[in-house]
């Protein structure tokens, strides 16, 4: 018989919530909302948009001790992948690993511990735009949400904690020039040449392309209309990544200076800080101890060259724990999750969350000070 956890995961997988399918994103978020509204939670967010999101906390605060984050959107897949299957002890389907297993665990927790929620100080975030930039996570942070720690199972494969993830800049450069006949370049202003000069100079500043380096890649180049015409417009896209905040700052400073020198415009289309796992907090220490109990071995760590929504929290110096159970094939047509890891993973989250008791004194000390004196 299918367990409750598997049934919930199968239902979430059955909603084809591809990031650019607003109807399905609405449907999946409405389902989550209708489920959690049955429990004592403080719910806010923005559900009236193409990429709806919501946050539910056990206390009336924007600073929960742990925020459990999950994106509900997935990358495209064949229709068959939206029916979850179980084969050879594996759960197969779009989103089983990336990352509907998280929303499944959170929903199950809320249902199982409905009566205990008010004694805890945790929150749950559900978004539908991670695969296309995670802008709702940014919006939430701009609205003043400041969780003390965020749990995001969106990396850190096979029970390894993501120790480091690169920060990034996605930049679009635009050059505007003046058209002329190709035979008379002095009468025009070649936008393509200026774009090429800037990207060449940037590449010379960051020439390294090895995994641990700061890497710079020109990923798109457009411009020009005919072989014998000077281009009056050109654009380039550049992807920059590094494990170090200083590299990102250096890149930004150089970019600003070069675009000024060559008269280019630029816009940041994506950004985020490097994520560095912070082992020092009590909440993280409790998690590490429980993780060792679960796996029966010392904690293992991994590094990520890609990004998740952790980068947005890192911008605000909010620590994150990024870890997933055993599975794989994210974004591929054979995405899978080890079936027996779903209850194991849930138990780990459950035990950890239940330890996060709400304490009025420690969490709202400043609020007490603002109370008028009774004497």
Interacting residues toward Zn ion by CB under 5 A:
98-99, 154
Nearest approach, Cβ of residue 53 and Zn ion (Å): 15
Nearer to Zn ion, 43 or 132 (CB): 132
CB closer to Zn ion, 54 vs 214: 54
Residue 194 or 312 having the CB closest to Zn ion:
312
Query: Helices 22-36 and 4-14: crossing angle, nearest 10°?
Result: 150
Nearest approach, Cβ of 285 to Zn ion (angstroms)?
Answer: 26
**Helix axis angle, 22-36 relative to 100-112, nearest 10°?**
20
Question: Please, what is the minimum distance in Å from the beta carbon of residue 348 to Zn ion?
Answer: 19
Q: In sequence order, what DSSP letters do the residues of 192-216 get, joined into one string?
A: HHHHHHHHHHHHHHS---STTS-EE
Instruction: Kindly state the smallest distance separating residue 48's Cβ from Zn ion, in Å.
Output: 24
Beta strands in the chain (DSSP E): 42-46, 53-57, 66-71, 85-87, 90-92, 122-127, 150-151, 160-165, 167-176, 215-223, 233-242, 265-272, 275-276, 300-304, 320-321, 327-328, 336-338
Angle between helices 341-354 and 100-112 (to 10 degrees): 50
Q: Got the DSSP string for 108-131? A: HHHHHTTTTGGGB-EEEEEES-GG
Q: Which is nearer to Zn ion, 164 or 218 (CB)?
A: 164
Q: How many residues does the chain have?
A: 375
DSSP for residue 373: P
Nearer of residues 99 and 273 to Zn ion, judged by Cβ: 99
Q: Measured from the CB of residue 121, what is the shortest distance to Zn ion in angstroms?
A: 26
Closest contact distance (angstroms) between CB of 269 and Zn ion is 19
Cβ distance to Zn ion smaller for residue 99 or 150: 99
As measured in angstroms, the least distance from the Cβ of 183 to Zn ion is 52
Contacts 24+ apart (CB under 8 A), 327-333: 327/90, 327/96, 327/97, 327/101, 327/157, 327/158, 328/97, 328/157, 329/97, 330/97, 330/98, 331/75, 331/98, 333/77, 333/78, 333/81
Q: Which is nearer to Zn ion, 99 or 337 (CB)?
A: 99
Q: Which is nearer to Zn ion, 154 or 247 (CB)?
A: 154
Q: What's the token pair of residue 249?
A: 């700052």
Q: Minimal distance in Å, beta carbon 309 to Zn ion?
A: 8
């Amino acid at each position: 018989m299918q367990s409750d956890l598997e049934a919930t995961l199968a239902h979430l997988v059955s909603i084809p919530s591809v990031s650019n399918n607003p109807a399905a994103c609405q449907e999946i978020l409405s389902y989550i909302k209708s489920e959690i509204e049955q429990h004592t939670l403080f719910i806010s967010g923005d559900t009236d948009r193409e990429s709806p999101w919501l946050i539910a906390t056990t206390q009336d605060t924007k600073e929960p001790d742990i925020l459990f984050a999950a994106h509900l959107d997935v990358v495209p897949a064949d229709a068959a992948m939206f029916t979850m299957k179980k084969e050879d002890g594996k759960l197969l389907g779009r989103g089983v690993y990336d990352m509907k297993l998280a929303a499944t665990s959170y929903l199950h927790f809320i249902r199982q511990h409905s009566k205990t929620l008010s004694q805890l100080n945790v929150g749950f975030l559900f978004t539908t735009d991670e695969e296309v930039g995670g802008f709702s996570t940014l919006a939430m942070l701009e609205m003043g949400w400041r969780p003390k720690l965020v749990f995001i199972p969106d990396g850190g494969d096979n029970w390894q904690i993501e120790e480091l993830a690169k920060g990034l800049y996605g930049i679009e450069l635009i050059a505007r020039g003046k058209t002329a006949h190709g035979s008379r370049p002095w009468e025009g202003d070649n936008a393509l040449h200026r774009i090429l000069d800037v990207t060449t100079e940037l590449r010379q500043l960051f020439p390294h392309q090895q995994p641990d380096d700061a890497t710079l890649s020109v990923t798109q180049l457009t411009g020009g209309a005919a072989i014998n015409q000077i281009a009056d417009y050109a654009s380039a896209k550049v992807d920059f990544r590094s494990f170090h905040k200083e590299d990102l700052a250096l890149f930004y400073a150089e970019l600003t200076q070069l675009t000024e020198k060559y008269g280019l415009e630029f816009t940041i289309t994506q950004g985020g800080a490097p994520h560095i796992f912070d082992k020092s907090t009590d909440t993280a220490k409790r998690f590490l101890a429980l993780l060792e109990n679960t796996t029966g071995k010392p904690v293992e760590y991994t590094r990520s060259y890609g990004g998740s929504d952790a980068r947005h929290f890192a911008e605000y110096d909010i620590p994150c724990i990024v870890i997933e159970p055993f599975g794989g094939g994210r974004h591929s047509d054979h995405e899978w999750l080890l079936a027996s890891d779903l209850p194991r993973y849930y138990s780990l989250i459950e035990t950890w969350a239940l330890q996060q008791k709400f304490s009025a004194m420690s969490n709202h000390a400043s609020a007490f000070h603002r109370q008028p004196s009774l004497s």
